[in-house]
């Protein structure tokens, strides 16, 4: 009954205000800004999740409900690289060392169904923590164990790149957490060791987070031109220097073999260190170490340029999360039978394993749209030349299997500005520009068939309502940045993963998230983007968010058994985008610029709009009212070349989703004073929050004319779809 009344009142209200004064949305029909095909451009992502979530979500009724959102193509997200792991996409395969360890290559021969796959944590790791999802690993550089060691990636050496090791310097960085006095370093080398290297300190605040706000300064006695390996103690300066960040910059290897011997050239190239010590040397020659050595994340933090993908079966350990097996992924129905974007592991893997993966998928006859190369190289602190060198080796191996495959990357983390790195010899700091330069210099730019990045624009704990005003500019600006960095204008640009922020919070359940989603999708397509993938597609349980409030990525709340409890705001707005704004399927849509004139007086657009001409001949305008307090009533005009003006005519369909259809009620918490265990107040969650009302979208039909005003309720997304007079 409530739905019927809402539909009736919407139509009556629009008729009553037919001649009232209002604002205008103007659609410029003189030329399209972009074009796209929904079943190629509007997709969603399937990521590494708990094995029991895989079992529940890739079958009915969860899968059917996810697909009711209307998202079409799917991208398979490869999460193991965020945890510094080697990906066994097929549990069956061969090891490089006949004893059953080393470098693993999955079997390309289809046998049993692949339901799950897993990542193996790398034992030669040099990260305390990286910038991905990993929270449980630790570095072997200061774990207190001389039997373990860090080793760089052998595929970044002359043996595999064909160019001098000096062009791919490998490095490790120490973060002392605060400024301390340093004049000496002790390096316990493994094999191979560095013959030439520099020991440097950073002059700015943070070389990882702000790589252009400072320089690496070599210690007065920090240059080694004839390193001998074993354990070296080096006095870096005559007097202690106040420093926080230290870097070892390695440019020439001894090319001596590690403990696994010369039978595999990968054992004999790169650089390896067992343990690092840093501090001061007193006059009596005693070394005083200031690092914390422990096999956990309480150790002194270290970062590294790369990691050797060598590992062994025992490194798997116990894991609760899995990558979906390729057979389950392609046969479950989640792809709708459409070609899917699949990943290969590159940063911590081998070209042979990637090529075998492609061979397996193609032998099964599964359709591939694109292959994404590696995962978040920027989050692994990899320099662009190193990523590019790996990219070309992997591209060569994959194209031997199928020369027609479209490869791309680098799947940047969600950023709002250009990614900067330490300057090269020419002073260039743009990661993308240097990556493109490398491909061009090697005559291989054609191996980059698309450019991909993620989009997580908001800090998860700082999302006031007014940040909605920023989204259209953020997404259009970053596309402009990539083009200025050298991405060709005709190269497809994909956001292969995106949502409000990288951390879940209750904002994901609020109507804010739906309004943001409409602006995000509309502005990306209007700015020339080619495909966008919503994250996360499948129903997942709540996770801890800001201020102890539970949150979930995506479109549903679920119970402990992954049964869907409620549809969230982003589900309904996804339907508006995929089922009302666009015509589902394989027809080409043209995008046209649209602009509202509703402002808050501080130059913030309160109403944004996105217009498409659909293959059925209809025009559809998606209007987003970002004013959370006030409704607005707008005319919609279509203005062509020469100032010719037109309007919707005949009956139009109006689909509305706003505060009258959806209200999120936050989780309830209370404080318990003086908990017995700690003596401190604790927070107890008494509910997880819920939506009431919780949909559905309101649909109505309206006779349209020149002066018709369309009602945009406060905090709403409205799609108007119909014919345009004279079109």
Interval 63-89: pLDDT, tens: 999 999 999 999 999 999 999 999 999
Q: Return the structure tokens found at 712.
A: 């945009």
CA distances from 321 to 119, 280, 342, 412 (A): 9, 44, 19, 23
Residue 240: partners with Cβ closer than 8 Å, 6 or more residues away: 181, 182, 183, 280
Assess whether pLDDT exceeds 70 at residue 598. yes
Interval 354-401: pLDDT, tens: 999 999 999 999 999 999 999 999 999 999 999 999 999 999 999 999
CA distance 314 to 101: 9
Fold of 150-308: Jelly Rolls (2.60.120)
**283 vs 152, more confident:** 152
Mean pLDDT for all residues in the chain: 92
The dihedral built from the CA positions of residue 271, 272, 276 and 282, taken in this order, carries a sign that is negative
Q: Please give the model's pTM, rounded to 2 decimal places.
A: 0.93
- pLDDT grade for 708, boundaries at 50, 70 and 90: very high
pLDDT of residue 368: 98
Assess whether pLDDT exceeds 70 at residue 675. no
pLDDT of residue 670: 52
Mean pLDDT of 328-342: 97
Q: Are strands 407-412 and 450-455 parallel, antiparallel or unpaired?
A: parallel
- Residue 442 is classified by DSSP as T
Q: What's 581-615 look like in SS3?
A: HCCCCCCCEEEECEEECCECCCCCECEEEEEEECC
CA distance 532 to 495: 5
Interval 83-107: pLDDT, tens: 999 999 999 999 999 999 999 999 9
- Beta-bridged to residue 622, according to DSSP, are 610, 719
Percentage of the chain modeled with pLDDT above 90: 84
Half-sphere exposure of 96 (CA within 13 A, CB side): 19
Whose tokens are 């509910």? That residue is 687
pLDDT of residue 685: 47
Assess whether pLDDT exceeds 50 at residue 4. no
Q: Where are the beta strands (DSSP E) in 89-165?
A: 93-97, 101-106, 116-121, 150-151
Interval 194-218: pLDDT, tens: 999 999 999 999 999 999 999 999 9
CA distances from 435 to 398, 477, 722 (A): 20, 20, 45
- Beta-bridged to residue 654, according to DSSP, are 700, 720
CB 520 within 8 A of CB 467: no
pLDDT of residue 376: 94
- pLDDT grade for 54, boundaries at 50, 70 and 90: very high
- Residue 530 is classified by DSSP as -
pLDDT of residue 17: 38
Assess whether pLDDT exceeds 60 at residue 589. yes
Q: Where are the beta strands (DSSP E) in 101-253?
A: 101-106, 116-121, 150-151, 170-182, 184-189, 194-202, 216-224, 231-235, 241-253
pLDDT of residue 15: 36
- pLDDT grade for 426, boundaries at 50, 70 and 90: very high
Rg of the chain (C-alpha set)? 28
Q: Where are the beta strands (DSSP E) in 89-161?
A: 93-97, 101-106, 116-121, 150-151
Q: Residues in the chain, how many?
A: 727
In the chain the first and final C-alpha atoms are separated, in Å, by 38
H or E element in which residue 683 lies? strand 682-685
CB 211 within 8 A of CB 420: yes
Q: Return the structure tokens found at 470.
A: 């920023």
Phi, psi values for residue 355, rounded to 5°: -65, -40
Assess whether pLDDT exceeds 70 at residue 686. no
Of the listed ranges 139-148, 333-342, 479-488, 539-548, the one predicted with least confidence: 539-548
CA distances from 94 to 80, 101, 103, 264, 348 (A): 19, 9, 8, 15, 17
CA distance 625 to 42: 22
Task: Return the axis-axis angle of helices 471-484 and 511-526, rounded to nearest 10°.
Answer: 30
CB 419 within 8 A of CB 412: yes
Assess whether pLDDT exceeds 80 at residue 108. yes
Whose tokens are 């260190």? That residue is 273
Interval 158-194: pLDDT, tens: 999 999 999 999 999 999 999 999 999 999 999 999 9
Residue 224: partners with Cβ closer than 8 Å, 6 or more residues away: 194, 195, 196, 197, 198, 199, 232, 234
Neighbour tally for 502: CB within 10 Å:
18
Whose tokens are 């679920």? That residue is 558
Q: What's 253-311 look like in SS3?
A: ECCCCCCCCCCCHHHHCCCEEEEEEEEEECCCCCEEECCCCCCCCCCCEEEECCCCCCE
Q: Return the structure tokens found at 615.
A: 């293959």
CA distance 645 to 596: 16
Nearest to 589 by CA among 12, 25, 36, 24: 36
CA distance 675 to 622: 51
Name all contacts of 260-264 with Cβ < 8 Å and 24+ positions apart: 260/97, 260/102, 260/310, 263/97, 264/96, 264/97, 264/102, 264/103
pLDDT of residue 552: 82
Assess whether pLDDT exceeds 60 at residue 10. no
DSSP string covering 56-73:
HHTSTTHHHHHHTT---S
Assess whether pLDDT exceeds 60 at residue 628. yes
pLDDT of residue 152: 98
Domain-by-domain residue ranges, the chain? 150-308
């Amino acid at each position: 009954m409530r739905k019927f009344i809402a539909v009736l009142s919407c139509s009556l209200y629009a008729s009553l205000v037919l001649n009232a004064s209002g604002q205008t949305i103007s659609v410029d029909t003189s030329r399209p800004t972009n074009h796209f095909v929904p079943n190629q451009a509007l997709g969603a992502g399937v990521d590494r999740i708990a094995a029991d979530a895989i079992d529940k979500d890739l079958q009915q009724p969860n899968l059917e409900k996810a697909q009711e959102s209307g998202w079409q193509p799917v991208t398979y997200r490869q999460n193991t690289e965020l945890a510094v792991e080697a990906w066994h996409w097929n549990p069956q395969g061969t090891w490089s060392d006949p004893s059953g360890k080393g470098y693993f290559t999955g079997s390309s021969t289809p046998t049993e169904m692949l339901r799950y796959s897993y990542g193996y944590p790398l034992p030669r790791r040099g990260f305390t923590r990286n910038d991905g999802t990993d929270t449980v690993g630790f570095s072997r550089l200061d774990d207190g164990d001389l039997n373990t060691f860090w080793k760089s990636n052998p595929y970044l050496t002359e043996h595999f790149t064909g160019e001098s090791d000096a062009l791919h310097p490998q490095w490790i960085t120490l973060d002392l957490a605060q400024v301390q006095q340093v004049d000496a370093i002790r390096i316990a080398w493994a094999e191979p060791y560095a013959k030439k290297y520099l020991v440097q300190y950073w002059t700015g605040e943070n070389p990882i987070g702000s790589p252009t706000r400072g320089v690496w300064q070599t210690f007065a006695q920090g240059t080694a031109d004839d390193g001998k390996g074993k354990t070296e103690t080096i006095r870096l300066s005559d007097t202690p220097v106040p420093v926080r960040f230290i870097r070892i910059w390695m440019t020439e290897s001894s090319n001596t073999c590690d403990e696994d011997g010369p039978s595999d050239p990968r054992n004999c190239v790169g650089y390896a260190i067992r343990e690092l010590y840093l501090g001061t040397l007193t006059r009596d020659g005693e070394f005083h170490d200031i690092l914390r050595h422990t096999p956990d994340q309480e150790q002194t933090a270290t970062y590294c340029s790369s990691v050797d993908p060598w590992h062994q079966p025992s490194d798997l350990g116990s894991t609760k999360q899995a990558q979906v097996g390729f057979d389950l992924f392609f046969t479950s129905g989640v792809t709708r039978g459409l070609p899917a974007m699949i990943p290969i592991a590159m940063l911590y893997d081998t070209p042979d394993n990637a090529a075998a993966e492609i061979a397996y998928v193609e032998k099964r006859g599964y359709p591939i749209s694109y292959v994404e190369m590696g995962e978040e190289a920027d989050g692994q602190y990899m320099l662009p030349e190193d990523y590019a060198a790996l990219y070309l080796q992997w591209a060569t191996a994959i194209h031997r299997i199928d020369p027609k495959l479209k490869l791309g990357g680098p799947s940047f983390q969600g950023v709002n500005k250009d990614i900067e790195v330490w300057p090269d010899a020419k002073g260039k700091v743009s990661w993308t520009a240097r990556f493109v330069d490398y491909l061009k210099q090697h005559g291989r730019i054609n191996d980059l068939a698309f450019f991909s990045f993620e989009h997580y624009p908001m800090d998860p704990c700082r999302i006031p309502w007014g940040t909605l005003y920023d989204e259209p500019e953020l997404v259009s600006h970053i596309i402009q940045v990539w083009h200025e960095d050298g991405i060709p204008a005709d190269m497809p640009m994909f956001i292969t993963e995106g949502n409000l922020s990288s951390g879940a919070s209750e904002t994901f359940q609020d109507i804010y998230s739906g309004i943001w989603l409409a602006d995000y999708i509309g502005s990306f397509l209007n700015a020339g983007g080619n495909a966008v993938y919503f994250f996360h597609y499948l129903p997942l349980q709540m996770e801890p968010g800001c201020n102890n409030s539970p949150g979930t990525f995506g479109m549903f709340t679920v119970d402990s058994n992954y049964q869907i409890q409620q549809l969230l705001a982003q589900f309904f707005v996804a339907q508006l985008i995929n089922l009302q704004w666009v015509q589902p399927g394989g027809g080409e849509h043209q995008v046209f610029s649209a602009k509202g004139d509703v402002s808050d007086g501080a130059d913030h657009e309160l109403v944004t709009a996105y217009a498409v001409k659909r293959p059925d001949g209809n025009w559809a305008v998606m209007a987003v009212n970002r004013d959370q307090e006030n409704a607005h009533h707008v005319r919609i005009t279509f203005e062509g070349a020469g100032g010719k003006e037109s309007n919707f005519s005949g009956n139009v369909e109006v689909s509305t989703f706003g505060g009258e259809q959806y209200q999120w009620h936050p989780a309830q918490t209370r404080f318990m004073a003086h908990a017995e265990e700690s003596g401190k107040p604790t927070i107890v969650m008494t509910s997880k929050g819920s939506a009431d009302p919780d949909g559905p979208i309101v649909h109505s039909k309206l006779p349209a004319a020149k002066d018709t005003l369309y009602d945009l309720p406060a905090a709403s997304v409205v799609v108007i779809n119909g014919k345009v007079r004279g079109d």
